[in-house]
Copies of this chain bind each other. A is one copy, B any other.
Amino acid sequence: MQVIADLCIVPLGVGVSLSKYVAACEKVLGGTGLKVLWQADGTTVEGPWEEVFAGLKRCHEVVHEMGAPRITTTVKLGTRVDRSQTMEDKVRSVEEKLDATKTE
């Protein structure tokens, strides 16, 4: 089963500057072979279910190893069986609808 998942990993108990931990997660996810898109508030990954959640687990392990005693994460994920759809498809689909409304 293919998944598109938006991951927002927040370490607690390590102060307010979190970019070091976010960068570590980007590095972990970048090394997985998953398709990864970095965004302002989280990271979007695309791939097989097991690999996506193994990647997320590895992020938690790495951030704990870096000293964070506690992590809270929000994941938004989507699966579909009617047709395959990539992250790029989703963006393109919205852009086409927007273009259509402009010419109405």
Contact = CB atoms under 8 A, between A and B. Distances in A.
Interface residues of A, number: 55
Number of copies: 4
Main secondary structure of the interface of A (DSSP, over half): mixed
Nearest to A22: B94
Given A38-B91, A70-B82, 13 more contacts: A1-B61, A6-B42, A10-B12, A10-B72, A23-B100, A27-B101, A40-B88, A40-B90, A69-B80, A72-B76, A72-B77, A73-B75, A74-B76
20 contacts: A1-B61, A6-B8, A12-B15, A13-B16, A16-B82, A23-B94, A23-B100, A26-B94, A26-B98, A27-B98, A27-B101, A39-B44, A41-B44, A42-B76, A71-B78, A71-B79, A71-B80, A72-B76, A72-B77, A75-B77
